[in-house]
Structure 1
Amino acid sequence: MKKMFALTLMSAAMLTGCMKGEQKADLSKEENKIFYSVGTMHGARFKTLEMSETEKVAFIAGIKDSLDGKPEQVNSQEYAMKFRELLTKRTEDMAKGNKDKGMKFLDSFVSSEQAQKTASGLAYKVLTAGSNDKPAAEDTVTVHYKGTLIDGTEFDSSYARNNPTSFPLNRVIKGWTEGLQLVGKGGKIKLVIPSELAYGDQGAPPKIPGGSTLIFEVELLDIQKAPAAKK
């Protein structure tokens, strides 16, 4: 909770325009740019709460009063638990809505693209088969990939960084661990991963909301076999 309230204070820079008309930030100074970047980074976390306009105004008023050293208009300690209950409910409601949308998208992907669906709920389509050499869960793989939400929003890409990444296959989300064992070295696969095989109801804020179904296109560039287990 303390961390959440700290983030509330730091997001002031992003939302101050809600108070007395639009107030444009002066970004000519380096210090102002620093605080602006902090505001946008942490303000994005609160975007997932889908606050109403009146809630935004109250939110900013609380931040401004605190920064200006004014007395609290409500008892923060008393409302800390209420905020936690509200946060939990809105997070659960949002996750359920995202899961419902994700399931419809996944089913459509399977039917419209002649994709496959495993017993776990993972949907996939092999775009390029690659060789017969496929990784095991214990192996380390090197890949190029792009990850998007079902609305097309890109949240991660090794292509954008121009830098392939390597990792033990059993140290990532379940959808990757299962999915990459279905394609050979040199191949490419498209994965549609339901939230229970990705980041669950909590998501990975601020880029991945709770309950999100994720889409990945992954090129399997190399496989480093795990050492044989000692007898």
Structure 2
Amino acid sequence: MKVIKNLAVVAITVTMFSCGKQIKEVKTLEKEIDSVSYAIGLSMGTQFRANLKEVNNDAYIQGYLNGVDSTNFLIKTKDVQNVINTYLRKKQMAQMKEQQEKAAKEAEVKFADNKKAGEDFLAENKKKEGVVTTDSGLQYIVLKEGTGEKPASPTTKVKVHYHGTNIEGKVFDSSVDKGEPSEFVLNQVIKGWTEGLQLMKVGAKYKFFIPQELAYGAQQRGENIKPFSTLVFEIELLDIVKQ
């Protein structure tokens, strides 16, 4: 894989080779077709430089020649756009992951005190009577046991009332205060909720103490949930919603 510094030059080179001529540098654009041809090459070069900084020159040239001659295709025409789009999506995902990892490292330094405060809180909390700690680190207290069925899987849709605070007791969200229960599929919420609600029967009310890695991790969520925040929720499982 070689870095393409000027794809327009490559395109012009390919064109000259395909016509059996030597490379001739274009310095002026006298006719309209000259301007159009140059504009197409310039556009290609700019787009490739922005989206695809590495390319196999030989394969690119061969693809160009096969396209001009309409022969010896190594990829079916119907698959061309999918091959390009799949590669670009992978590149985009890799860039996003890199940016997220960088942001997480920066947040871990900036919010180190907040992370430690949550860890210290959970270390003390697990010693209290009635607190159960799961293998994942999720902690909970049973406020009221239910008598109904349990959510069968992470794809179960449930109806709940909840009241969420940080470890200092400041409320950041509450369906109770809003007066309207919330419905959602378990695998669409934070990991602490997904795990915790599967422990409950309909009619139960638990208090959960959720480590940051089972909550929002390095993400900032509004003004009241800082990165690496340990969260506290009282959740009442009202019903399992049939889908």
Q: What interval of TM-score do these two structures reach, taking the shorter chain for normalisation?
A: 0.5 to 0.7
What is the root-mean-square deviation of aligned Cα atoms in Å? 1.8
Segments ≥4 residues shifted beyond 2 Å = 87-96
Aligned to 1:209: 226
Distance 1:163 1:211, change over 3 A: same
Structure 1, residues 150-176: CA drift from partner, whole Å, max 9, x if none?
011100000111000100011100000
1:93 is displaced (CA, Å) by 2.4
- State yes or no: 1:222 paired with 2:239: yes
Letter in 1 for 2:136: S
Do 1:126 and 1:183's aligned partners in 2 also have CA atoms closer than 8 Å?
no
Q: Which has the larger radius of gyration?
A: 2
- State yes or no: 1:124 paired with 2:148: no
Distance 1:88 1:105, change over 3 A: closer
Tell me the distance in 1 between the aligned counterparts of 2:238 and 2:188: 18
Query: What SS does the aligned partner of 2:111 have?
Result: helix
Tell me the distance in 2 between the aligned counterparts of 1:211 and 1:147: 16
Identity %: 49
1:189 is displaced (CA, Å) by 0.6
Tell me the distance in 2 between the aligned counterparts of 1:101 and 1:225: 40
Structure-1-length-normalised TM-score: 0.57
Tell me the distance in 1 between the aligned counterparts of 2:219 and 2:169: 20
Tell me the distance in 2 between the aligned counterparts of 1:199 and 1:95: 13
1:192 equivalent among 209, 215, 238: 209
Structure 1, residues 48-98: CA drift from partner, whole Å, max 9, x if none?
xxxxxxxxxxxxxxxxxxxxxxxxxxxxxxxxxxxxxxx877632243221
Letter in 1 for 2:192: G
Residues 20-31 of structure 1: pairs in structure 2 closer than 5 A = none
Do 2:104 and 2:218's aligned partners in 1 also have CA atoms closer than 8 Å?
no
Do 1:124 and 1:189's aligned partners in 2 also have CA atoms closer than 8 Å?
yes
1:109 equivalent among 82, 103, 125: 125
Query: What SS does the aligned partner of 2:208 have?
Result: strand
Distance 1:221 1:156, change over 3 A: same
Tell me the distance in 2 between the aligned counterparts of 1:223 and 1:123: 23
Structure 2, unaligned stretches of length 5 or more? Answer: 1-102
1:207 is displaced (CA, Å) by 2.1
Do 1:95 and 1:212's aligned partners in 2 also have CA atoms closer than 8 Å?
no
Structure-2-length-normalised TM-score: 0.54
Residues 29-178 of structure 1: pairs in structure 2 closer than 5 A = 91-135=107-151, 136-178=153-195
1:206 is displaced (CA, Å) by 2.0
Q: How many residues align?
A: 140
Query: What SS does the aligned partner of 1:112 have?
Result: coil
Distance 1:186 1:206, change over 3 A: same
Do 1:94 and 1:211's aligned partners in 2 also have CA atoms closer than 8 Å?
no
